[in-house]
């Protein structure tokens, strides 16, 4: 009798084939009076057509949030809205509906998030309400119970980082340790809830995003100490813990969000002064990126997640 995998990418009752779409949500823009406008909006990006359509709103409003996923749900968590948040919103792909989830174990904005089929790890971020600096805290969210507990602290403070991973590890890279822009990475092992240093990215950057498959993570976009938005990418190979320069994205963004499947990663949005709905589709096999279809709303400081074969489903 064949082995039955408990977490499939195409559950029997799914109305949306898994591994075929990415979900982007939340974010913020600034109006003509310099007032920050926060969103609970979502946009569903279909890979085959390179088009995006509006999804249902998240259960809370936030910018500077993060997201992770398994084969049935996306978990959006943390962020900023009149202060740092520990809130989560659980988006069910089959029904395109979102409900409140269990709170994270710490309040934070601008963390990174990565996960597998059973847990999502939210890590680091910016503690603007208290110390005004980045942190090393983590929170491990279990999908089946919609509960979160504190995970192992990272070995250094990090915020505004990118995160990608496979079924066993999450790689958190780049970002800011207080005032220092980083190229370093941290490897978080889900089974042991421990984090160790990984190999450096090929550039120092904050406000970046990442997507990947079971073997590589593509870290892209962001900005430097001169506050210039970038289209640069760095390809991180999990087996060797090494990174090399990849092909540039088709636009510069700081920060974008990113999500993908086993063959492509979609980078979307832009939180710099010129907020965008732009996307860039990165093909892992060729290390090339082309412009994709626009998201269904203009925003920055958004989050992205997706069912991803070999990473968070099988």
Report domain extents, the chain: 22-305
- So what's the pLDDT on residue 88? 98
The answer to whether the CB of 225 falls within 8 A of the CB of 183 is: no
Q: Find, among 131, 75, 142, the residue nearest to 107 by Cα.
A: 131
pLDDT band of residue 301 (cuts 50, 70, 90) is: very high
Residue 253 has pLDDT above 90, yes or no: yes
Residue 130 has pLDDT above 60, yes or no: no
Residue 6 has pLDDT above 70, yes or no: no
Between 303 and 18, whose confidence is greater? 303
The answer to whether the CB of 73 falls within 8 A of the CB of 144 is: no
Class of the domain covering 22-305: mainly beta
Residue 7 has pLDDT above 50, yes or no: no
Mean pLDDT of 81-91: 96
Mean pLDDT of the chain: 92
Mean pLDDT of 299-308: 96
pLDDT band of residue 18 (cuts 50, 70, 90) is: low
- So what's the pLDDT on residue 225? 77
């Amino acid at each position: 009798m064949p082995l039955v995998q408990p977490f499939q990418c195409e559950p029997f009752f799914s109305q949306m084939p898994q591994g075929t779409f990415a979900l982007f949500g939340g974010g913020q823009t600034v109006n003509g009076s310099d007032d920050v406008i926060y969103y609970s909006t979502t946009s569903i990006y279909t890979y085959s057509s390179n088009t995006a359509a509006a999804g249902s709103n998240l259960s809370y409003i936030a910018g500077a949030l993060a997201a992770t996923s398994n084969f049935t749900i996306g978990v959006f968590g943390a962020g900023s809205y009149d202060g740092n948040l520990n809130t989560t919103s659980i988006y069910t792909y089959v029904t395109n509906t979102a409900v409140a989830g269990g709170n994270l174990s710490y309040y934070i904005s601008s963390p990174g998030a990565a996960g597998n089929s059973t847990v999502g790890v939210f890590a680091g971020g910016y503690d603007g309400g208290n110390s005004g600096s980045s942190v090393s805290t983590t929170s491990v969210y279990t999908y089946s119970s919609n509960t979160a507990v504190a995970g192992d602290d990272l070995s250094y403070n990090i915020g505004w980082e990118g995160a990608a991973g496979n079924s066993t590890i999450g790689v958190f890279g780049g970002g800011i340790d207080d005032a220092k822009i980083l190229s370093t990475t941290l490897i978080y092992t889900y089974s042991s809830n421990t984090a160790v240093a990984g190999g450096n990215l090929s550039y120092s950057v904050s406000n970046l995003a990442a997507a990947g498959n079971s073997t590589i993570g593509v870290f892209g976009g962001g900005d430097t100490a001169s506050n210039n938005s970038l289209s640069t990418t760095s390809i991180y190979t999990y087996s060797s813990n090494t990174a090399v320069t990849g092909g540039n994205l088709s636009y510069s963004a700081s920060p974008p969000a990113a999500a993908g499947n086993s063959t492509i990663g979609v980078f979307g949005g832009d939180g710099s002064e010129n907020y965008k709905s732009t996307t860039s589709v990165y093909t892992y096999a060729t290390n090339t990126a082309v412009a994709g279809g626009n998201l269904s709303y203009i925003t920055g400081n958004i989050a992205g997640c997706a069912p991803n074969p070999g990473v968070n489903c099988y």
